[in-house]
Structure 1
Amino acid sequence: MSTAAVRVATVDDAAEIARIQLTTWQTAYADVLGEKVVETLDIDELTQRWSAAVEHPGTDLLLATEGEFVVGFCIAGPAPESEVAAADGSLPSDAGTVGLIATLLVEPRWGRRGHGGRLLAAAASALSARGAERGVTWVVQSDSASLAFFRGAGWHPDATVRTLDTGETTVRELRLTGGLDLKLTDN
């Protein structure tokens, strides 16, 4: 069996991260985002964006690997005020100590092998090291697999929702929040 691990991404990984995003969105999110939105994604543009993300200060871009393969990724950092504010714009008292899991994707063919849990635990640890005391993330309301994953880690909806317009459809997302003291267990 191949060894599974999490490591920090480098600029050299940007093309593989872009490939994973494109593959995952085509497989799992085309119906949610709209076929045209996914069809217009450009791998070169995505690669450039991920290259910039790797070098962005204050964030951690982590990769899940299985053997020699990169199978998923997660980007995390301090949560901007806009990500933690209530619907009325007010900020919670702990706004300065909240981390954001901006993206966590595992390529579907590598799913159900613990990669998402390893990524979330590593990102939570990195956020804690940066001074965060809790985390938030946004999940598409109809994405039952992702909602179940985060709930399994002890993260739950906090009653804040947002609606995104993709140009083809609208997407309703739930904000989830949870602790950063995550421990992996063997089941």
Structure 2
Amino acid sequence: MANVGVRAARREDAVLVTRTQIRAWRYGYREFLPDGPLQQMTGPAAEDLWLRQWEEAISAPPSSRHRVLVAVERIMDTDAFPALGPGGVAAPNPNRGVERVVGLASHAPAEDPDLDPGATAELLNLLVDPDFVRRGHGSRLLNATVDHLRDDQYGSVVTWVFADNYAMLGFLESAGWGNDGAERVLNMGRVVTMVRMTTDIR
């Protein structure tokens, strides 16, 4: 049995957040990114860099509007019972189990020059460990992100997605997001295009 949820990331989560990002990229981007750049993005040197960046993002964000959230599963041990109490009655301990970080989301004020950072936020990351997909973690992370952004008085949110990442595009479109026409063209040994997706959260 597993309990699931979303919470604010803590400093001690940084290692698992980094590993989740690396695993999600290796699995999710392998179909449309060139091997060389993907290996550079997910290799040991890059992993060390990402770890330092996540530690800073979690422990010392630039503002209160910069947040990192994690999706967690607590794997419960249903066979673990406390010692018998008076009357010989025992019950499962709901606090037993191991919590595992299985996804992450981060957001911040939008930085694109055509956007107002006071009114529009950017979803910087939304990633789920490939061993834990299709369990609702992505939707829970997205919903929690929107809740925080509404609390911060944002009216809209954008995110950049690889144009060939059909799984992510389909997920966002099913949640009411749409392509706003902005594009980025990257040279990664061959041309790779990113598109900007947006949604109104008022």
Give the TM-score taking structure 2 as reference length: 0.79
**How far apart in 1 are the matches of 2:51 and 2:143?**
25
Is the counterpart of residue 45 in structure 1 residue 76 in structure 2? no
Q: Is contact 2:119-2:156 (8 Å) kept? A: yes
Is the counterpart of residue 27 in structure 1 residue 27 in structure 2? yes
Is the counterpart of residue 180 in structure 1 residue 201 in structure 2? yes
Q: Which residue of structure 2 lines up, in the alignment, with residue 184 of structure 1?
A: none
* Aligned-pair CA distance for 1:31: 4.2
Cα deviations by residue, 1:111-146 (Å, 9 ceiling, x for unpaired) = 111100100111111111112111111111111110
Q: Is contact 2:109-2:117 (8 Å) kept? A: no
Q: 1:74 aligns with which of 99, 105, 115?
A: 105
Q: Which residue of structure 2 lines up, in the alignment, with residue 101 of structure 1?
A: 123
- Aligned CA RMSD, in angstroms, stands at 1.6
Q: Which residue of structure 2 lines up, in the alignment, with residue 155 of structure 1?
A: 177
* Aligned-pair CA distance for 1:95: 5.5
Code of the residue aligned with 1:138 in structure 2: it is W
**How far apart in 1 are the matches of 2:179 and 2:129?**
24
Quick check: which has more Rg, 1 or 2?
Answer: 2
Comparing both structures, which one devotes a greater share of its residues to helix? 1
Q: What are the equivalent positions in structure 2 for 1:117-136 lying under 5 Å apart?
A: 117-136=139-158
Q: 1:61 aligns with which of 28, 47, 68?
A: 68
Q: Which residue of structure 1 lines up, in the alignment, with residue 6 of structure 2?
A: 6
* Aligned-pair CA distance for 1:179: 2.4
* Aligned-pair CA distance for 1:25: 1.3
Q: Is contact 2:110-2:121 (8 Å) kept? A: yes
Code of the residue aligned with 1:70 in structure 2: it is V
Match of 1:132, SS? coil
Q: Is contact 2:5-2:72 (8 Å) kept? A: yes
Q: 2:190 aligns with which of 159, 164, 169?
A: 169
Q: Which residue of structure 2 lines up, in the alignment, with residue 185 of structure 1?
A: none
Match of 1:51, SS? helix
**How far apart in 2 are the matches of 1:121 and 1:96?**
20
**How far apart in 1 are the matches of 2:11 and 2:29?**
26
- Aligned pair count reads 171
Q: Which 5+ residue runs of structure 2 have no aligned equivalent?
A: 75-98
Give the TM-score taking structure 1 as reference length: 0.85
Q: Which residue of structure 2 lines up, in the alignment, with residue 143 of structure 1?
A: 165
Q: Between the two proteins, what is the percent identity of the paired residues?
A: 33
Q: Quick check: 168-177 or 64-73, which moved more?
A: 168-177
Q: Which 5+ residue runs of structure 1 have no aligned equivalent?
A: 86-90, 182-187
Cα deviations by residue, 1:26-58 (Å, 9 ceiling, x for unpaired) = 112134332222323332221101111112123
